[in-house]
Amino acid sequence: MDPQKIEETLNSYIHRQTFPVAVKMVRSPEEIPERARMPKRDMNIQMPVCQGIALARRYGWVVAMGLEDMLCPLGALTLGFLPTKEKFLDGSFDVPFWVKNQSIRAKISQKIPQLDYGKYTHLVVAPIHRAEFDPQVIVIYGNPAQISRLVQAATYETGDPLVSQNIGGLACGEEITRTILTDRCQFIVVGGGDRAIAQTQDHEVAFAIPMSKVDAVMEGLKATHKAGLKYPTPSFLLFKGSLPPDFAELMDYLKEEGD
């Protein structure tokens, strides 16, 4: 399905509030679109991956990020821009800082999904209607009701439940890396830097679709909508409500003939 059709389908069935984002990992700078903005080169700043995604989904920018643009080491690691090293894997660094102790940090560090080190040079993201490249993943942010529609669409054809892995941070690793590695849809309860720096709102969660599953998810959206699962969620209003007794007494009194 072409990007414009994906955009139209998402607009029709979940009424997205920010742009769906097309994601591609590229193997050389020559693959970066000419109009892409690069944080270090064009803005003289570095930023985490989630902030680059936010620029695409909120500003409509095409953004490319390589190692020189990376502010967050975890984002650089999950995309394969940096190698894992001993003191990271054993939890010596206080990252993530909120867990109980070094052994827990080591456990998390050793399970972070990672693309092969050195396989890619840059990440390219763009609102899907501006993507002049073949994406690997589509990332959509929305409220839980919108994302539940995507979950329903993803399970429409297979019946297989979606399994989400979250630690309250490193959303980029789930949205991009794990989606590429597993070739499966992911829903992500984002946290950490995504909310603090990329300014993801309290009501927002994310959903990632590998391109191999896009057609099935879009078809699932249409079919489940036709079956009655819609967004905004329709309220059931065909019932008799209940009011306090005084309301019934007043109704009876007003219906009486005469004063």
Question: Is it the case that residue 139 has pLDDT exceeding 80?
Answer: yes
Mean pLDDT of 167-192: 94
For the stretch 208-256, pLDDT in tens is 999 999 999 999 999 999 999 999 998 899 999 999 999 999 999 999 9
What pLDDT was estimated at residue 259?
A: 65
Mean pLDDT of 198-215: 96
* pLDDT band at residue 2 using 50, 70 and 90 as cut-offs: confident
What pLDDT was estimated at residue 1?
A: 78
What is the β-pairing status of strands 137-142 and 63-65? unpaired
Q: Which domain holds residue 229?
A: 3-255
Question: Is it the case that residue 32 has pLDDT exceeding 80?
Answer: yes
Split into its structural domains, the chain has a count of 1
Cis amide linkage into residue 39, ω under 30° from 0: no
DSSP line for the chain: --HHHHHHHHHHHT--SS--EEEEEESSGGGS-TT-B-IIIIIS--B-HHHHHHIIIII---EEE-GGGB--HHHHHHTTSS---HHHHTT-S--STTSSSHHHHHHHHHH---PPTTS-SEEEEEEGGG--S--SEEEEEE-HHHHHHHHHHHHHTT-PPP-----SS-HHIIIIIIHHHH-S-EEE---THHHHTS---TT-EEEEEEHHHHHHHHHHHHHHHHHT--SSPPPP--S-----HHHHHHHHHHHSS--
* pLDDT band at residue 137 using 50, 70 and 90 as cut-offs: very high
pTM for the full model?
0.92
Computed over every residue of the chain, the mean pLDDT equals: 94
What pLDDT was estimated at residue 168?
A: 86
What pLDDT was estimated at residue 255?
A: 93
Burial of 103 (0-12, 13-18, 19+ CB in 10 A): exposed
Mean pLDDT of 176-195: 94
Q: Give CA separation, 72 vs 99, 150, 171, in Å.
A: 18, 29, 12
For the stretch 86-125, pLDDT in tens is 999 999 999 889 899 999 999 999 999 999 999 999 999 9
